Structure 1
Amino acid sequence: MTKAVNPVSGLTGDPAFLATTFVVIDFEATTPSGYPAQPVEIAVLAARYHEGAFRTVGRGASLIRPPAFAPVTPMFTAQTGLTAHDLADAPTPAQALGALDSRFTPDRRYLLVAQHAATEAGLIHHQREHCPALARIDLLDTIPLAKHLIPGLPNYRLDTLLAHLSIRHPPDRHRAAADVEVTAQVFFHLIAAADRDAQLCDLAALIKLAGRTAKCNQPAQDGLFDL
């Protein structure tokens, strides 16, 4: 069980909030020239709010073998510790993301949670053929939420939030499993603060402030000159 937050009427008393499974997600990726970023590791932590606390209901992590056009670089290895050898026998994107996709059921409401959710949204969208269910889940971004609830920080990078919230910096920072764990802790702290914020009285208000629509859910724009 994760650390309890104060149960008060408001956000965490909203039936829509209570019915939502929040899936914290993090990718590590290579950034090949001329191509979209390619995932090489993914981790998720699913949590639901129940009786005054967030409770973990699922988690998972997987390495992902990158395509030949997106090799692991020395800079990437220096940041993450992952080498080409580590990824040589990893599952393909179709295998890793397909396995995750199968865990989402159509009768539940989900929101993805990420630090700088645009990055995760872009990676998921480019891999949508392998994870069609995941690609249709909207996101919450911890950055605008933190800016609203903790104004005045010099920046809102993950390391800054960890220090401000006294969350232990993981030794394997920049690995997906470690980053998803601390991002979840940041999110739980932010929800505790949001529960005391009159502007964030329900899930709809939270989404209005920090939500990001999945690219697959955005309306397609018709051509300007279609007749």
Structure 2
Amino acid sequence: MDFIAMDFETANRKRASACSLALVVVQQNKVVDSFYTLINPQMQFDAQNIHIHGITPEMVQDQPTFDQVWPHIQMFYTPGRIVTAHNAPFDVSVMRLTLDRYGIAAPRYQVIDTVKTSRQFLPKLPNHRLDTVSAALHIPLEHHHNALADSYACARILIAENEHFGEARIKSMMKLSKAG
């Protein structure tokens, strides 16, 4: 199975406040590449968000804004591409609203939510948070809420599910991202 795992962290409660992004590229069920960047959201940070992910305004002040990052990653977001995220509605909305903020048209791509797949395939877990699912599948997650660590965990969850339950069952849970 070929796909991209993505994860965003935000500066505050606004979904258009992306302050970090990671992508993990999977081809034939193997991680082959990754991308990580801090992003200057050009917005105020909330203390609660800083507490969760550890990213501060000082860390992003000289980093690119999302419109500067987009040309380097837009090739990963095409109609035939599968993108996965753990709690995909959040990450897809961060992408869409951040693009909208900069006047960039939101692409359409296929989405698989590993929260949804883990609920289907691992129904007896006490919850389906990323750290819980990772632990159940013996997937390392040392820096939860670091976008790159979370993307790797998400990718490995989908790889494990694909190996145990099959690509057809996973793809039956796919949705098309919403552009508007």
1:114 paired residue among 76, 82, 85? 85
Q: Match of 1:146?
A: 118
Q: Match of 2:7?
A: 26
After the TM superposition, which residues 77-116 of structure 1 pair with which residues of structure 2 at under 5 Å, given as runs?
A: 77-101=50-74, 103-104=75-76, 109-116=80-87
Cα displacement (A) at 1:105: 8.3
Other structure's SS at 1:127 match: helix
Find the aligned partners of 1:27 and 1:86 in 2 and give their Cα distance. 16
Question: TM-score w.r.t. structure 2 length?
Answer: 0.87
Cα displacement (A) at 1:90: 0.7
Other structure's SS at 2:24 match: strand
Q: Match of 2:147?
A: 176
Question: TM-score w.r.t. structure 1 length?
Answer: 0.71
Cα displacement (A) at 1:104: 3.6
2:31 paired residue among 29, 32, 56? 56
Find the aligned partners of 1:110 and 1:117 in 2 and give their Cα distance. 15
Find the aligned partners of 2:64 and 2:77 in 1 and give their Cα distance. 23
Identity of paired residues, percent? 22
1:128 equivalent in alignment to 2:128: no
CA contact (8 A) 1:40 1:87 kept: yes
The one-letter code sitting in structure 2 at the alignment partner of 1:93 is: F
CA contact (8 A) 1:22 1:112 kept: yes
Structure 1 residues 105, 97: CA separation in 2 closer, same or farther (over 3 Å shift)?
closer
CA contact (8 A) 2:12 2:46 kept: no
Structure 1 residues 22, 182: CA separation in 2 closer, same or farther (over 3 Å shift)?
same
Q: Name the count of aligned residue pairs.
A: 178
Q: Please provide the CA RMSD for this pair.
A: 2.2
The one-letter code sitting in structure 2 at the alignment partner of 1:89 is: D
CA contact (8 A) 1:61 1:177 kept: yes
Q: Match of 1:208?
A: 172
CA contact (8 A) 1:124 1:135 kept: no
CA contact (8 A) 1:117 1:212 kept: no
Structure 1 residues without counterparts, runs of 5 or longer? 1-16, 219-227
Structure 1 residues 96, 59: CA separation in 2 closer, same or farther (over 3 Å shift)?
same
Find the aligned partners of 2:146 and 2:170 in 1 and give their Cα distance. 28
CA contact (8 A) 1:24 1:114 kept: yes
Cα displacement (A) at 1:127: 2.7
**Which structure has the larger Rg over C-alpha atoms?**
1
